Amino acid sequence: MKGLITAGGRGTRLRPITFTINKHTIPIANKPMILYPLESMVKIGIKEIGVIVNETKPEIEAILGNGGRWGVKIKYIFQEQPLGLAHCLKISQDFLKKDKFIFYLGDNIFTGDLASIAKKFIKSNDSCHLLLVEVDDPSRFGQAIVKNGRVIKTVEKPPKPISKWAIAGIYFLDHHCFESFKGREAIKPSARGELEIPDVFQYLIDHKFRVTAENVTGWWKDTGRMEDLLEANRLILDAFNGRKILGKSINSTFIGDVKVGKKSLIKNSIIRGPVVIGEKVIIKDSYIGPYTSVYHSCLIENSEVENSILLENAAIKNITRRIDSSLIGKESIVQTNSQKPKILKFLIGDSSLVSLD
């Protein structure tokens, strides 16, 4: 079995952050997002992984390299334009050949057991196997109509949900999916000019290939929006257990599960976990509350932050109102010299300066 991960796209729902960085490099619990699907594939035992990239390939390659760190081989597959998830399949045919494979959207995170599902799929005669996850708002996702374990219809984001179960962005497929791109019956671009992945599933169904599905446990998150990133960050930090202080602490208090990276300084501060703090971070005279991830080389002085994500080299100075539910971009600065008892909420792009009076 091979693996295929998407790491391109434009991340329009996360702008302005994604004007300057690839969304798949955004750290969740201080781990770049792209590593979650990669490590899931490694656990399954997959050794060859294709990664769909665009012009931001250097950012992804800087994280993944050739895959040797994880004992896998990585093949980068360039997608010139964002022409849809099914187009990602189309351009990957030379890599995937006739192997069964798992197609994992790089901005999805799933904590369930994929290994047992992969093992069953390999042994089966299925051409496609879908994972269904119960969600609060199924209209945001593709959905499937299932009868006796067989999928009889797939629908992309129907205005009136047909089910409370969404199709997770993790698909098990075989080489028959490539037939959907050939001949007179080949799937066509949608109204938005993309080849849609549900059309591939429907092609297989219409041509009598076995398409199956199962409801899975474990949480799954499509991190396309800021609130989804923050929720994924909370869920992952919830699983963190223990305390590991590798940096220097001066007159500071740590409560609960806290991780502090090397060469970091925590001075005159309270850190209430679960919290993860990267390397070369300076935190002085501050409070860092639960579900906060502070990436490398950040600075926080005389401020309060909780339930937030700070990207590399971000700085927060002299904010006397608590910052909550925020995503602070790389090299951004948030500062004030005033004292007003209101909560602040930010979505701030890279290299920004916010000065509050």
Three-state DSSP state, 265: strand
- pLDDT reading at 347 higher than 70: no
Mean pLDDT of the region 273-302? 97
Mean pLDDT of the region 300-329? 92
* Beta strands in 84-160, from DSSP E residues, in sequence order: 101-105, 108-110, 128-134, 143-147, 150-155
Q: Give pairs for 69-73: CB < 8 Å, separation 24+.
A: 70/38, 70/39, 70/42, 71/42, 71/47, 72/38, 72/41, 72/42, 72/46, 72/47, 72/48, 73/47, 73/48, 73/49
Segments in 20-172 forming alpha helices (H)? 35-44, 57-64, 85-90, 93-96, 114-123
Domains of the chain (ranges; CATH) run 2-236 (3.90.550.10), 242-356 (2.160.10.10)
- pLDDT reading at 342 higher than 70: no
Q: What's CA 233's distance to the chain center, in Å? A: 10
DSSP label at residue 322: P
Q: Which of 161-165, 189-193, 304-308 has the lowest mean pLDDT?
A: 161-165
**Distance in angstroms (rounded) separating the CA atoms of residues 317 and 44:** 44
Q: What's CA 1's distance to the chain center, in Å? A: 22
**Tens-place pLDDT, residues 165-201:** 788 889 999 999 999 999 899 999 988 888 999 999 9
At 258 the pLDDT is 96
> Whole-prediction pTM value?
0.87
Q: Which one has a higher pLDDT value, 11 or 274?
A: 274
AA identity, residue 124: S
- pLDDT reading at 74 higher than 80: yes
Q: Give residue for tokens 């208090």.
A: 253
At 186 the pLDDT is 93
- pLDDT reading at 227 higher than 70: yes
DSSP label at residue 344: B
**Tens-place pLDDT, residues 237-285:** 988 888 999 999 999 999 999 999 999 999 999 999 999 999 999 999 9
How does the average pLDDT of the chain come out, rounded? Answer: 88
Q: What are phi and psi of 140, to 5 degrees?
A: -80, -5
Rg of the chain over all Cα atoms, to the nearest angstrom: 22
**Distance in angstroms (rounded) separating the CA atoms of residues 115 and 48:** 16
Query: What is the pLDDT confidence band of residue 126, given thresholds at 50, 70 and 90?
Result: very high
